[in-house]
Chains A and B, each alone.
Chain A
Amino acid sequence: MEYLAKNGIILAWIIVYIGICLYIGYFFKKKASEGVNEFYIAKREIPGWVVSLAFYSTFISTNTYIGQAGKAFQTGLCWAWVGLFWTVFCMISWLLLGPRMRSQTANLSSVTIPDYFDYRYKSSLSKAIRVLAAVVIIFATLWYMVGITKGCAHLLQSVMGIPYVWGAFLVVFITCAYVMWGGMYSVLWTDAIQGLMMFFVAIILVMLPAIYVGGWGDLMQNISYVTHVTKKGAPMENGLVTFCSLVSFMYILGIGLSVGMKQIAEPRCLIRFYSVDNAKSMKFAMIATPIFLGISLICVMGLGALVHGMTTNEEAAFLVKHTDQVIGFMLDKFGNPWLSGICLAGLFAAGMSSLASVMLIVGTAFIGDIWNLYKPLPPAKIVTNTKWTIFLYCILVFIVTAKPPAGIVELTAFSGAVFASSFFPAIFGGLYLRWGTGHAAFWSMLIGMISCVGWRWGIRFNVAGMSDIHEIIPSFILAIVAYLIIAKMTQDKVPDKEHLDMVFGN
C-alpha cells in the first residue's frame, strides 16, 4: 500500500500508455495478418504525418532522452553539437533518400532493405548482398536493442523502484506483444502516438531543472561555475558552459556521425519511406520531421548539464560516473508524481517506439531475406515465422540486457557505426549511381563492417591517441572509397539498361 501511495499516479500513467499501445496492436491484428505486404510495410498506405512522427520517434529513443541527455552531465552544454549533426542527417535523409527510396522500392516491389539490394543490383552477388545485409541487421540490432532496454530498465528502477531485470522484461515483452499482433501497422501508429508524447515530454523535461532552481537565470548562473568534479576527479569549474572543455570535439563528431548517420543508413529509419502513401504526404513529412527532431534535440541534448544546477557535490560525483541515471535522478528529485508520470510514459514511449521498429526489421530480415531465400515459404507462413523470430530475438535481447557490456551511448553509437559504414554506400549508390554494381555494394558492405569492428576492438582502445576517433570515421571513408573503386573496376557487371530504366522510373 505504501508503494502504491508513492507511485500510484506514475503507475496509472504507465498502465494507460501501455494499454493504448496494446490496443493498437490488437486493433490491427487481422489486417496485418493478411499478407507479407501488410505485415512488413503496411501496404504503402500510411499518411505523411504518421510516417513523419514514426521516423522521428524511431530515430530518437531512450538513447536520446536518457543516454545522450545524461551524457551532457559529463560533457556540458556543448553536447548539443551532437544534436546539430543529427539534424543535418535528418535533412539529408528526407531530402536525398526519401522520395527516391519510395519510388524505387515501389518499382522493384521491394519490402525490406536487404531485398532492395538484391533487386536493385541484379548481379551474381545479389543473393549474397541480401544475406550479408540481413546478417548485419541481426548482429548490429542486438546492441542497439540492449542499449534501449537498459535505459528503460534503469528509468523504472530509479523512478519506481522496479528491479532492473523486471523492468527490462516488461519493456521487451510488452513491445514484442504489439509488434507480433499488428506488424508494421501497429509499429507506425504506435510510433506516431509515441512521437507526439515524446515531443511534448522533451519540452517538459528541459523546464524541470529551471523550475526546481527558481528560473532560467538562476539555473544558468548555477551551472556557469560549479564545484563538481569530472569523471576523473578534476574540477569542472566553468566547463559546462565552455565549448569542448570537458569533452573533445573528435568525440562529439564521432557520436554525432555514428548515431546521426543511422538516419541515412539504418533499415528501421529507411523502411519508413516505403510506407508513405503519396507525394503530398512525402512533402509534408520532409518538412515536419526535421521540425520535430530539431525542437526536441534543442530541449534534451544539453539537459544533463542543466541537472548540475539541482545536484549536490556528492550526487554529482556519483552521477558523473553513471550518466544513464541522470534523467531518472532528475525526475526523482523534482518529486512531482504527475509530471514524473507523464515524463516516464514519454521516455517509455521513446524506448518502445525504437524497440518496436527494430524488432520488426530483425524478424523480416531473418525470415524474408535469409530463410525464405533458401526455403521459400507461402505468404501466410512468412508472416507467422516472422512473428516467432521476433519473439525468440526478444528473449536473446532480454538475456544480454541482464548483463550489458557497455553504456547506452556507446552501445547505440557502435550499432549505428556498423549500419552507416556497411549500408550507406550501397544505398546511396543504388539510388543515385546508375553505374553502381552488385560487386561494389557487396565488398563495400563487407569492408565497412570489418573495418568498423576491427577499429573498435583492434585499434581504438589499444593504440595511444586513438580513443576519441570513433570507428565510424575510418570505416565509413573506407567503405565509400571501396564502393567507388570497385564499381569502376566492375563496369561490366552494371545491370542492363532496361532494368535500370525501370528502377529509376525513366
Chain B
Amino acid sequence: MVLTDDDAMVCKNSYDHETENRLSEEFVLRCRTRKSNKINMKGGEEMDFLTGLAYWGMAVLVIINTIIVAKMKINIGDK
C-alpha cells in the first residue's frame, strides 16, 4: 500500500475524531498503519539509509577501534 504525500499531510495535520468520521474506513486504516509503523521505527521508514548510516557508522567505528587497540602493543618509550 503506497501513501501519497497528500495522504501523509492529512494523517499528520488532521488526524482527529472529526476528520476520522469523514474519512472512509480504508483511509483511516491506512493512516493508522502508517502511524503505527512510524512509532515502531521498523525498517528505517523515518530516516533514509544514508542518513542512518552516519549514526550506525559512529557506533561501529568505536567498536572497531576498541578491538584494534586491545590487540596493540603500546610503546611510548617510558621506563
Residue numbers of A with Cβ under 8 A of B are 76-78, 80-81, 83-84, 87-88, 91, 94-95, 99, 102-103, 106-107, 215-218, 220-221, 224-225, 237, 241-244, 276-280, 282-283, 286-287, 290-291, 294-295, 297-298, 301-302, 505
Contacts and interface: CB of A to CB of B under 8 A. Distances in A.
B76 A278 contact: yes
B1 interface: no
B69 to A, nearest CB: 5
Contact of B76 (A77, A103, A243, A302): A103
12 contacts: A80-B51, A84-B58, A99-B74, A99-B75, A217-B39, A217-B40, A242-B48, A276-B76, A280-B74, A290-B66, A294-B62, A295-B62
B39 A215 contact: yes
Interface residues of B, number: 33
Nearest to B66: A287
Contact of A83 (B35, B40, B58, B69): B58
Contacts of B65: 91, 94-95, 286-287, 290
Contacts of A84: 54, 57-58, 61
B74 A279 contact: yes
B23 interface: no
B61 A76 contact: no
Given A225-B12, A286-B72, 4 more contacts: A84-B61, A224-B38, A278-B76, A294-B59
Contacts of A280: 74
Contacts, number: 115
Contacts of B51: 76-78, 80, 241-243
B75 A81 contact: no
Contacts of B49: 243
A163 B63 CA distance: 44
A106 B69 contact: no
Contacts of B47: 77, 220, 241
Interface of B: 5, 8-9, 12, 35, 38-41, 46-51, 54-55, 57-59, 61-62, 65-66, 68-70, 72, 74-78
Contacts of B69: 94-95, 283, 286-287
A88 B61 contact: yes
Given A218-B39, A241-B51, A282 B46 contact: no
A287 B61 contact: no
A221 B38 contact: yes
A291 B70 CA distance: 14
A91 B76 contact: no
Contacts of A505: 77
A480 B74 CA distance: 28
Nearest to B34: A221
A99 B76 CA distance: 5
B38 A220 contact: yes
A290 B62 contact: yes
A486 B39 CA distance: 59
Contacts of A302: 55
Q: Is the interface of B mostly helix, strand, loop or mixed?
A: helix
8 closest A-B pairs by beta carbon, nearest first, are A217-B39, A103-B77, A80-B54, A243-B50, A294-B62, A102-B76, A220-B46, A81-B54
Contact of A287 (B12, B59, B70): B70
Contact of A87 (B62, B70, B75): B62
Contacts of A215: 39
A243 B47 CA distance: 8
A244 B48 CA distance: 10
Given A80-B51, A218-B39, A241-B46, A298 B74 contact: no
Contacts of B50: 78, 243-244
Contacts of A81: 54
Contacts of B38: 217, 220-221, 224
Contact of B61 (A78, A80, A91, A94): A91
Given A106-B77, A243-B51, A290-B65, A298 B39 contact: no
A482 to B, nearest CB: 30
A221 B39 contact: yes
A258 B61 CA distance: 20
B47 to A, nearest CB: 5
A217 B50 CA distance: 20
Interface centre among B39, B40, B54, B78 (most CB of A within 10 A): B54
A311 B72 CA distance: 48
A287 B63 CA distance: 9
A298 B77 contact: no
A217 B40 CA distance: 7
Contact of B48 (A241, A279, A294): A241
Given A76-B51, A279-B75, A221 B35 contact: yes
Contacts of B68: 95
Given A76-B51, A107-B77, A220-B46, A298 B59 contact: yes
A243 B48 contact: yes
A85 to B, nearest CB: 9
Contacts of A88: 61
Contacts of B40: 217
A87 B62 CA distance: 8
A340 B49 CA distance: 33
Contacts of A287: 65-66, 69-70
Contacts of A87: 57-58, 61-62
